[in-house]
């Protein structure tokens, strides 16, 4: 009786793992570049718009920020008229300031707001 392990050897498994990792890396890279282009286009369209950032501390162990906390803060800021741009975390997961910083921009809602923003 033939087993599946007779057909799959170590190089095939390694090649499959490398292929999966490469596909994941390409996906992440494409998503990041699309997000970067979106941010640049918003900032170019509204160069004088009001900007703000919100720091959300993550406790002390930097085990990670639960996604629902980030989503709740985004919804709260969006209901106040802010548009979400991006997030950053301290480089090297700094133990003295663990957390995430969210960046927002207030986009003018109508033409009069846009003209007053340009005049400022």
Output the pLDDT for position 8: 65
Give me the number of domains the chain comprises. 2
Enter the pTM of the model: 0.61
Mean pLDDT of 63-92: 83
Q: Report d(CA 116, CA 85) in Å as an integer.
A: 22
Residues 59 and 116 in one domain: yes
Residues 62 and 97 in one domain: yes
Token output for 51: 């900007």
At residue 118, φ and ψ (nearest 5 deg) are: -65, -35
Mean pLDDT of 73-102: 81
Q: Any residues with CB less than 8 A from the CB of 46 and at least 6 apart, and which?
A: 105, 107, 108, 114, 117
Residues 58 and 6 in one domain: no
**Structural contact between residues 101 and 88, judged by C-beta atoms closer than 8 angstroms:** yes
**Residue 40 or residue 115, greater confidence:** 40
Least reliable range by pLDDT among 1-5, 13-17, 69-73? 1-5
């Amino acid at each position: 009786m033939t087993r599946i392990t007779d057909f799959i050897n170590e190089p095939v498994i390694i090649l499959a793992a490398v292929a999966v990792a490469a596909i994941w890396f390409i996906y992440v890279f494409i998503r990041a570049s699309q997000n970067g282009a979106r941010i640049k286009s918003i900032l170019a369209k509204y160069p004088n718009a009001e900007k703000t950032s919100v720091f959300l501390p993550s406790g002390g162990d930097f085990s990670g920020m639960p996604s629902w906390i980030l989503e709740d803060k985004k919804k709260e800021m969006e209901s106040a008229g802010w548009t979400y741009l991006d997030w950053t975390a301290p480089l090297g997961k700094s133990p003295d300031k663990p957390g995430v910083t969210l960046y927002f921009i207030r986009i003018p809602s109508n033409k009069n707001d846009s003209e007053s923003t340009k005049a400022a």
